[in-house]
Amino acid sequence: MLKTIVLIGMMGSGKTSVGKELAKKLNLDFIDIDQEIEKKYEMTISEIFQTKGEHYFRKIEENMSCKLINGKPCVISLGGGGFINIKVRNKIKIDGISIWINTGLEKIYKRLNKSKNKRPLLNYKKLKQSIKEIYNKRKPIYKKANYTIQTKSDNKKFIVEKIIKKL
Ligand code: S3P
């Protein structure tokens, strides 16, 4: 039986848009963990960071991610920090297939710079540096994914084809 496919990687790497396209192609449901958290807690991710702090967010992210990875096979877009959590990573190792969408940092910068969805972890005054620091810190962990897709492209269909070839 097909396992749940979990897309991991940096903010702005395209996990959500690629995930939706991949789910359509594979005829599976698509779940975005951040959106599920926002629905459940009736707050945006930024509001949760502001009012409750990052530690609290990481705990509810862990619970939501582990619960949904446990469900019926689907395509999941994990928040950028989700895979850094050992419990989430172990859960994916057992019950899912992880795919790191390793998008070029210049592309990530362009997307995040114009996105209305302001990520609480980024310093927008030094955005390039901020992205680079987080990327360098997380790279050794993202590398643990089952598969890596290297891309600089905005072409979702092309990226989905690359994923399907790996699966
Ligand atoms: C985060 C990424 C965000 C969101 C939160 C923290 C991170 O999700 O979960 O702002 O630590 O990288 P996206 O990767 O969907 O932007």
Residue 114 lies in a domain: yes
Predicted local confidence at residue 1, as pLDDT? 57
- Write out the DSSP string of 82-127: GGGSHHHHHHHHHHEEEEEEEE-HHHHHHHHHH-SS--TT--GGGH
Residue 94 sits in a domain of what CATH number?
3.40.50.300
17 Cβ neighbours under 8 A, 6+ residues apart: 156
Q: What are phi and psi of 8, to 5 degrees?
A: -125, 165
Predicted local confidence at residue 28, as pLDDT? 97
For ligand 1, the distance from its centroid to the CA atom of residue 163, given in whole angstroms, is: 22
Predicted local confidence at residue 2, as pLDDT? 82
- Cβ–ligand 1 distance for 137 under 6 Å, the answer no
Residue 35 lies in a domain: yes
For ligand 1, the distance from its centroid to the CA atom of residue 81, given in whole angstroms, is: 6
Q: Which atom of ligand 1 is nearest to the CA of 13?
A: 14
Torsion of CA 115, 151, 102, 41, to 10 degrees: 40
Residue 73 lies in a domain: yes
Tell me the per-residue pLDDT of 17-41, one tens digit each, with 9 for 90 and over: 999 999 999 999 999 999 999 999 9
- Cβ–ligand 1 distance for 119 under 6 Å, the answer yes
Distance CA 75, CA 6 (A): 6
Tell me the per-residue pLDDT of 76-113, one tens digit each, with 9 for 90 and over: 999 999 999 999 999 999 999 999 999 999 999 999 99
Residue 37 lies in a domain: yes
Q: How many domains does the chain have?
A: 1
Predicted local confidence at residue 88, as pLDDT? 98
For ligand 1, the distance from its centroid to the CA atom of residue 148, given in whole angstroms, is: 19
Contact 18, 107 (CB under 8 A): no
Predicted local confidence at residue 138, as pLDDT? 98
Residue 52 lies in a domain: yes
Residue 112 lies in a domain: yes
Domain that holds residue 27: 4-152
Tell me the per-residue pLDDT of 152-165, one tens digit each, with 9 for 90 and over: 999 999 999 999 99
- Residue 94: CB atoms within 10 A of its CB come to 9
Residue 59 lies in a domain: yes
For ligand 1, the distance from its centroid to the CA atom of residue 162, given in whole angstroms, is: 24
Q: What is the pTM of this model?
A: 0.97
Residue 93 lies in a domain: yes
